[in-house]
Amino acid sequence: MASEFIWPVRVYYEDTDAGGVVYYANYLRFMERARTEWLRALGFDNSSLAAGSRVVFAVRHVELDYLRPARFNQALEVSVASCETGRASLTLEQEVRGPDAKPCCRGRVRLACVDSQRFRPAPIPPDLMRKLLDVE
């Protein structure tokens, strides 16, 4: 597995349910933000990929394990690590960790690279593929 990218996230009131814990669907939002910043750290951003290379990444499949609750106002870390790279797909492993570095949620996300106009599978752009393979 590739080296891990870490993105900090703070739990805001809007992220929690009536019990003061992170609402389960918001872990997906935290992971999405971390993936966006991971891509940016590699030198790419979603807007430029859509405009220049005419591709976007769409979530194809997600598996999540909820391990323990994160709570209001906690500083969390969200990790991203590439574990499989295909011609037109990418599988990432992600974790949301609490302030004690123990995982609250683990996920495996499969992304499809698709043509931004036709929404049909498209190859991952060569310059991005080189970066992905260089990091792995």
**Separation between Cα atoms, residue 95 and residue 81, nearest integer Å:** 9
Cα(19)–Cα(68) distance, integer angstroms: 14
Query: From the candidates 17, 45, 65, 127, which is the catalytic residue?
Result: 17
Active site residue 115: no
Alpha-carbon span 111 to 10, nearest angstrom = 25
CA neighbours closer than 13 Å in the CB half-sphere of residue 60:
15
| Cβ neighbours, 10 Å, residue 12 | 11
Are 106 and 46 contacting, i.e. CB atoms less than 8 angstroms apart?
no
* Residues identified as active-site: 17
